[in-house]
Structure 1
Amino acid sequence: MASYAMKITLERIALFQFTPTHCAQARAMLGWSVDELSRETGVAEAEIERFEARREVADADRLALAYRFESEGLMFFPGFAPGRVIGGKGAEAESRGQAEFVNG
């Protein structure tokens, strides 16, 4: 039960810290188009465009985007542009797609 609570807490932190501006900035930093990000995450292009336009999208989509960028070594803090993790890519060896965040 504790690990589930921790998972939910970490997801809520990621949702708070990752903003639409971060998404567009991170794509630019990596040189990715909306289409490329969609293929990397399984999040529909239309949903990525909605998010970057500051419209509501599912939490699962936002988490998939945030965690994919983090797997590339980017980190996010409210009010700041994305930063790079010192020493390489993020902690996860493989990216996670949108499907992993649907229904817990």
Structure 2
Amino acid sequence: MATSTMNLILERIALFQFTPTHCVQARGMLGWSMEQLSRETGVSVDDIQRFEAQQEVADSARLALTYRFEAQGLVFFPGFAPGCGANMRESGSVEMRGDLAMVE
């Protein structure tokens, strides 16, 4: 019981922290098109377009997007551009722009 409650709390936090603007910025940081993000997450391109246009999409779609970006080493906080977690620096797969906030 405690595990399912904790999972629900963590999902709610992830949903609150990840915004449509974050999605656009994270795709740009990774150089991913909507089509590539769709392949990476299993979320339809239509849902990604709706989410980035600040329209409603299912929580499961938003979580899939959030978790895939987090798996790439990105972190999200309301009001800030996506940041890089410590593990991202080691991967060398993303070149960070100087105008994006980094979270250490």
User: Smaller-chain TM-score range?
Assistant: 0.7 to 0.9
CA RMSD between the two structures: 0.9
Aligned residues: 89
Give the match for residue 43 of structure 1. Answer: 43
2:17 aligns to what? 17
Describe the superposition over 1:15-60 as per-residue Cα deviations: whole angstroms up to 9, x where unpaired: 0000000000000000000000000000000000000000000000
Residue matched to 1:88: 88
Name structure 1 gaps, 5 residues minimum.
Answer: 90-104
Which stretches of structure 1, 4 residues or longer, exceed 2 Å deviation after superposition?
none
SS of structure 1 residue aligned to 2:86? coil
Code of the residue aligned with 1:75 in structure 2: it is V
The equivalent of 1:31 in structure 2 is: 31
Structure having the higher Rg? 2
Normalised by the length of structure 1, the TM-score is 0.84
Name stretches of at least 5 consecutive residues in structure 2 with no aligned partner. Answer: 90-104
